[in-house]
Structure 1
Amino acid sequence: AILAELDKEKRKLLMQNQSSTNHPGASIALARSPLNKDFRDHAEQQHIAAQQKAALQHAHAHSSGYFITQDSAFGNLILPVLPRLEAE
């Protein structure tokens, strides 16, 4: 979903760029702009944060366990917290 939004925004900006080429000096190289990359990174982080929040709420509502949000090497949005039991 986020990729579709970014692609739509990119097309929109490229169309604006093409229409501005009729005016000398008004065109902007959007593909190489660091601001464009920062925008994409920020949008992706917001999307991931929203997914994490939704996954966390769902897990808490449907499970008696406890979960936290944390980056995972395997792409998990949330991780279960397991208590350590003392060996008897």
Structure 2
Amino acid sequence: MAANPPGPGFQNKTRVAILAELDKEKRRLMQSPGANIPLSPRPSLKEVRDSAEQQHIAAQQKAALQHAHVHSSGFFITQDSSFGNLILPVLPRLEPDF
């Protein structure tokens, strides 16, 4: 015996029930306390540009640091400088010999 597939009337009732349930859930979510919290706005063009510039500077710092380590026996760190230097030379702290 083969099972008869449900007719179009059954599919319509199921669809209406699903839509009613979705509408009920939507109303419940809209009434919850978190529904009034605005979503975070998209970042402005200036923020995106600043972020890209920071990534570019970070890439330049990394390249300068790698170059300095390869071509020098000194120690260097990356740090923001008032004079535009990407890396700064540092002297290591040595413990005194007693």
- By the TM > 0.5 criterion, same fold? yes
Match of 1:39 in 2: 48
Structure 1 residue 83: Cα displacement: 3.8
SS of the aligned residue for 2:44 comes to: helix
CA distance in 1, matches of 2:60, 2:89: 16
SS of the aligned residue for 1:72 comes to: coil
Q: Where do residues 1-88 of structure 1 align in structure 2 (5 Å cutoff)?
A: 35-83=44-92
> Unaligned stretches of 5+ in structure 1?
1-32
Q: Please give the root-mean-square deviation of Cα atoms over the aligned residues, in Å.
A: 1.9
Moved beyond 3 Å, runs of 4+: 83-86
CA offsets 1:35-86 (integer angstroms, 9 cap, x no match): 1011100000000000000000000000000000000010000000024677
Instruction: Kindly tell me the number of residue pairs found equivalent between the two proteins.
Output: 54
> Unaligned stretches of 5+ in structure 2?
1-41
Larger radius of gyration: 2
Q: State the identity %.
A: 81
